[in-house]
Amino acid sequence: MPNAPVTNTLKQKVHELAEQLPENATWRDVAYQAAVRAEAEEGRADIVAGRVVDGDEVLRWIDSWGTDHELEAPRLHR
């Protein structure tokens, strides 16, 4: 029998986050860790959905900054 995908509810994820924090954690620590996890989840969702920018294009764009031939910012590849 194949394993069913594990889906954690937000409440479960908050409990996991709390368990991983040190005993002397502050509310700021909680907020920071929650924000980092939210950004990571959003980033993974973007990757899965194909909302990505080619890294080499980004590097070429950055290298062009301040030159006479500055490139436009790369666009999302879908």
**Residue 3: its pLDDT value, please?**
63
**Residue 76: its pLDDT value, please?**
87
How big is the chain by its Cα radius of gyration, in Å?
19
Q: Give pTM, 2 decimals.
A: 0.66
**Residue 1: its pLDDT value, please?**
52
CB 61 within 8 A of CB 74: yes
Distance, in Å, from the CA atom of 44 to the CA atom of 47, rounded to the nearest integer, reads 5
Residue-by-residue pLDDT tens, the chain, 78 positions? 566 566 689 999 999 999 999 999 999 999 999 999 999 999 999 999 999 999 999 999 999 999 999 999 999 876
CB 57 within 8 A of CB 74: yes
Max distance between CA atoms of the chain, in angstroms, equals 62
| Domain extents in the chain | 10-52
Residue type, 59: L
